[in-house]
């Protein structure tokens, strides 16, 4: 607990978990203890078989203002960066579908936290900014790896070097936002999207997510080999025969289990 409040709130309804960044007095900027708690939360959710989808959002009109640059600095900067990097790894490598619900500013490490999600659903109030240069800092939370893959090298340089804060519409045009929805429709859309994802075969979805994340750094032959291994895993679950029967019998909403079928 920091500032007298729980910095990370976790709730679950059915197969959908919700992680809320909860330091509204600091626009949900996270201090070292909060980054560590975020890592622990995502590691816990990754291991929880009852969770199929996670929604990540911020409290009270902000998504995340990045790292809290105030407060005590009684440890070495490298140690603080290790905490941040461990949180980044837990989010970037999270094996299940992750939706960022962005209603308000997402800047600095907070912007890259949102972009590390599989889908970004934003309201017109959302703002995105790689503002590191304004603080005399260089990019972190995986932005140097992620941004060129999302927007291309030149646009990544523009966002990082000029440190502009862009609105939700420009972010959508650049490919940083998956869906832009009116504020009144944001929660309903996110809930529906999370439900759609939760209803899919969990093992197959996790495999596809991993293959896409790894594919950018591989040759075609490596990607094909990984796809073959992933399909072998899928074929050993109960979900493949369930999907086949649903297709043949025209079942609208088959119930997938993700369980291993080979005994």
Low-confidence stretches of the chain (pLDDT < 70) are 1-3, 71-73, 263
Q: Pick from 3, 4, 11, 109: which is nearest to 56 by CA?
A: 11
* Residue found by looking up tokens 């796809």 in the block: 227
Burial of 123 (0-12, 13-18, 19+ CB in 10 A): buried
- Round to whole Å and give the CA distance between 144 and 154: 12
pLDDT at 211: 96
Give the Å distances, CA to CA, from 231 to 119, 153, 158, 201, 249: 24, 33, 40, 13, 23
Question: Residue 5: its pLDDT value, please?
Answer: 84
d(C-alpha 23, C-alpha 1), whole Å: 10
CA-closest candidate to residue 13, choices 41, 55, 63: 55
In the block, which residue shows the tokens 């990097």? 85
User: Please, how many CA atoms are within 13 Å of residue 247, restricted to the half-sphere of its CB?
Assistant: 6
State residue 217's pLDDT score: 86
Minimal CA–CA distance to 107: which of 155, 164, 161? Answer: 164
List CB contacts of 74: < 8 A, sequence separation 6 or more: none
């Amino acid at each position: 607990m920091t500032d007298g409040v729980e910095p990370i709130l976790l709730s679950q309804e059915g197969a959908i978990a919700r992680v809320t960044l909860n330091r509204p007095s600091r626009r949900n900027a996270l201090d070292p203890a909060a980054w560590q708690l975020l890592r622990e939360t995502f590691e816990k959710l990754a291991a929880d078989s009852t969770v199929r989808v996670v929604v990540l959002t911020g409290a009270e009109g902000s998504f995340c203002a990045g790292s809290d640059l105030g407060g005590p600095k009684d440890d070495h900067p490298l140690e603080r960066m290790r905490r941040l990097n461990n949180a980044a790894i837990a989010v970037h490598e999270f094996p299940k579908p992750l939706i960022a619900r962005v209603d308000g500013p997402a800047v600095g490490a907070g912007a890259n936290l949102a972009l590390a999600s599989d889908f970004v659903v934003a309201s017109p109030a959302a703002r995105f900014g790689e503002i590191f240069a304004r603080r005399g800092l260089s990019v972190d939370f995986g932005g140097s790896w992620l941004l060129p893959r999302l927007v291309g090298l030149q646009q990544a340089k523009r966002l990082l070097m000029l440190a502009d804060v862009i609105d939700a519409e420009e972010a959508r045009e650049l490919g940083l936002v998956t869906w832009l929805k009116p504020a009144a429709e944001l929660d309903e859309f996110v809930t529906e999207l999370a439900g759609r994802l939760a209803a899919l075969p969990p093992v197959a979805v996790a495999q596809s997510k991993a293959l896409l994340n790894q594919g950018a750094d591989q040759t075609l032959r490596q990607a094909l080999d990984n796809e073959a291994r992933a399909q072998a895993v899928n074929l050993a679950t109960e979900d493949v025969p369930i999907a086949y029967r649903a297709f043949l019998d025209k079942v609208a909403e088959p119930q997938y289990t993700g369980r291993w079928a080979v005994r």
